Structure 1
Amino acid sequence: MKMRHIAVPITVALMGALTLAGCSSQSSNGSTPQPTGAPTAAGLADDIPTEEITTTVNEDLAAQLPADFGDTLTVAIDLSSPPARFIDEAGDPVGFNVDFTNLLTEKLGLEPKIENVPLAQIVPGLAAQRYDIAVNNLSRNPEREAQLDMVEYMQGSGGIAIPADNPNDVTEKTTSLCALHIGVLSGSYQESNTIPAINEECEAEGLDPVTFTAYGTNNEAILALGSGRVEAWIGNGTVAAYAAARNPEVFKSLTLENTWSHDNLGLPKGSELTEVVAEAFQELMDEGTYAQVLEKWGIENYALDQTSLTQTDVVQQ
């Protein structure tokens, strides 16, 4: 069965943010280093992998869908974050969450209808039953669990990207970043929480603090690292892993210590689809297509062996 391509609207502004390779709108709390001569790298949305990964329908699972469900699964995804979910130059949704969506709908004999929904609108949209499911790396918290059914489907982590030759001897430990100039995503958890926490540790150990530049997109931040304008980048671990897998001569990725977590699919609370989705996703894991998706995007170490409707213990690797 061939993969289906789902067209969604795309604005010029979004495409520009994903593909911008030169200048960027950014804020900084420290001076930006001059380029060091490090090799440049392709942007996160350039030269993306195009391997098609397919599965077959499980008729028994398809028969468990509600009788009046129809043949379309409406999926909320925030298409703004390579490599998980973004839009390619042709205007099509791509990324590992899009691949998972296609496999899940194929397994259930459905057609996917991907809705490009900003992250802040996904949970209320699911709660209002505007969407059947979100495939968007949702983390658990009490507020979300009160409104949603959640299904664990992969691991998550914080990540560090550094030059491949690691001239500053950066490790997974946060204090190895002290005194460095770091790139982050503007408005991210790393900007508001992680960097202040790192600087508290740096101060406690008598080390110089981190300085940083906040970029409008991860694409801009990774390109800044590749050209030597920052000395490291911190953010979602899958972004660092993907950048390093695509450009091993330019980047190395590390997992920020003690940040492993489990990411979840989200469905409306009490959805009739929750258990059948969990079973279908488990079959994708068991048959190997799930692993193929992660390998395609260079993030195979983010695999889980089992889905779960409840939070399971996280092992810090």
Structure 2
Amino acid sequence: MALGHRTRAIVGSLAAVTALGALLTGCSTDSTQAAEDSDQAVEVDENLRALLPGELRAESARITVGTESGYPPFEYTNEAGRIVGFEIDLFDAASDRLGLKYTFHDMPFDSLLDELYASNVDAVAAAMSDTAERRVDSDFVDYYNDSDAIMVPAGNPAGIKTLKDLCGRTVAVLTESTQDEALAALNTGECKAKPVTVTRFDTDADALAQVQAGKADAELTQWSTGAYNAKQVGSGDIFEVANTEVINPSPLGWVFPTGDVEMVRAYQAALQSIIDDGTYAEILEKHDLSVGALEKATVNGQ
């Protein structure tokens, strides 16, 4: 997809994490899941509910939300086969504040925006980076700040620390991801004389497996996912995040079709409400993601 992708990650529950191979399976990509009651006690705010389009204020109203459940800690499949994670908890809380029910459709990440544009889903909650290119046809309600991670074998035998250190090396990446775009930019810039050999894969799990197999020197992925996998894969001694400097910072957001003003405004207001009452901070702390917290719920980075 020309609009680009966020990175994928290894799938699996925390309890089941024993090795990379054990994490490469998850729920079916064509599965659906209705939202359950979240752990957070979030009451409906009728003033915020009134911001929704009229047809979505009925008790029976339900929207369809596209996701891809292979991206811990944002979304992943637990041992019971449920899609869980930081973004799921956050979207639950915002939806509860609006009194709006929804159903997840789990699908390949590279189909999510197409499904949104075709009106087959009403929104996307998939740790998607809010970029200028995507804003051409979408509006983002931003909920988190993240950046990129250079994943290397534990011990960092090649001594990689920065993007420039990737020049002349083999780097695995998700096809057409924003990280893929970053590597392409390196090859026309700092690495022009000694380009990166970029190997592209359909999932972040496949890309990361190349590092473990010694077929790639590194993988470029999203920082929160890289840090999660560095801690959880195996006994936390298979991978590490090589960079200590922030690389390519970017907000992540829930995605709505351009022009769906009422939905965007409603979810922005609901997110701001759970920021203000402390629910947002509790969810961040639960998932050890407080480092990327926002103080204001923004739309399209503004």
Fold shared, TM-score > 0.5 on shorter chain: yes
Greater alpha carbon shift after TM alignment, 299-308 vs 130-139: 130-139
CA contact (8 A) 2:66 2:104 kept: yes
Which of residues 134, 143, 151 is equivalent to 2:141? 151
Q: Say if 1:220 and 1:259 are closer, same or farther in 2 by CA, change over 3 A.
A: same
Which of residues 209, 231, 235 is equivalent to 2:221? 235
Q: Which residue of 2 aligns with 1:287?
A: 277
**How many Å separate the matches in 2 of 1:232 and 1:120?**
22
**How many Å separate the matches in 2 of 1:257 and 1:285?**
24
Asked if 1:249 is matched to 2:237, the reply is yes
Which of residues 92, 105, 113 is equivalent to 2:103? 113
Matched residue type, 2:271: F
Q: Which residue of 1 aligns with 2:44?
A: 58
**How many Å separate the matches in 2 of 1:64 and 1:194?**
38
Asked if 1:210 is matched to 2:199, the reply is no
CA contact (8 A) 1:53 1:293 kept: no
CA contact (8 A) 1:225 1:231 kept: yes
Tell me by how many angstroms 1:234 deviates: 0.7
Q: Which residue of 2 aligns with 1:309?
A: 299
Q: How many residues align?
A: 268
Tell me by how many angstroms 1:259 deviates: 0.5
CA contact (8 A) 1:85 1:93 kept: yes
Q: Which residue of 2 aligns with 1:178?
A: 167
Q: Say if 1:41 and 1:294 are closer, same or farther in 2 by CA, change over 3 A.
A: farther
Secondary structure of the residue aligned to 1:272 is helix
Tell me by how many angstroms 1:167 deviates: 2.4
**How many Å separate the matches in 2 of 1:255 and 1:76?**
34
**How many Å separate the matches in 2 of 1:294 and 1:145?**
26
Q: Say if 1:120 and 1:296 are closer, same or farther in 2 by CA, change over 3 A.
A: same
Tell me by how many angstroms 1:90 deviates: 4.2
Give the alignment's Cα RMSD to 1 decimal.
3.5
Which of residues 85, 91, 94 is equivalent to 2:84? 94
Secondary structure of the residue aligned to 2:43 is coil
Tell me by how many angstroms 1:240 deviates: 0.9
Secondary structure of the residue aligned to 1:219 is helix
CA contact (8 A) 1:294 1:303 kept: yes
Q: TM-score, normalised on structure 1?
A: 0.68
Secondary structure of the residue aligned to 1:230 is coil
Tell me by how many angstroms 1:108 deviates: 2.1
Any gaps of 5 or more consecutive residues in structure 1?
1-16, 20-38, 313-317
Q: Where do residues 30-49 of structure 1 align in structure 2 (5 Å cutoff)?
A: 41=20, 44=23
Tell me by how many angstroms 1:273 deviates: 2.6
Identity percentage of aligned residues: 27
CA contact (8 A) 2:95 2:270 kept: no
Q: Which residue of 2 aligns with 1:133?
A: 123
Any gaps of 5 or more consecutive residues in structure 2?
1-9, 13-17, 27-37
Q: Say if 1:59 and 1:298 are closer, same or farther in 2 by CA, change over 3 A.
A: closer
Tell me by how many angstroms 1:107 deviates: 2.1
CA contact (8 A) 2:139 2:300 kept: no
Greater alpha carbon shift after TM alignment, 106-115 vs 225-234: 225-234
Tell me by how many angstroms 1:212 deviates: 4.5
1:149-174 residue CA offsets vs partner (Å, 9 max, x unmatched): 43221123222112332222221x21
Tell me by how many angstroms 1:124 deviates: 5.3
CA contact (8 A) 1:149 1:309 kept: yes
Q: Say if 1:46 and 1:244 are closer, same or farther in 2 by CA, change over 3 A.
A: farther
Which of residues 61, 70, 75 is equivalent to 1:81? 70
Tell me by how many angstroms 1:135 deviates: 1.8
1:283-310 residue CA offsets vs partner (Å, 9 max, x unmatched): 2223343344444444432322211124
Matched residue type, 2:164: T
Q: Say if 1:131 and 1:217 are closer, same or farther in 2 by CA, change over 3 A.
A: closer
Q: Where do residues 190-205 of structure 1 align in structure 2 (5 Å cutoff)?
A: 190-191=179-180, 193-200=181-188, 201-204=190-193
Matched residue type, 1:155: N
Q: Which residue of 2 aligns with 1:23?
A: none
Asked if 1:261 is matched to 2:261, the reply is no
Moved over 6 A (4+): none
Q: TM-score, normalised on structure 2?
A: 0.71
**How many Å separate the matches in 2 of 1:270 and 1:239?**
30
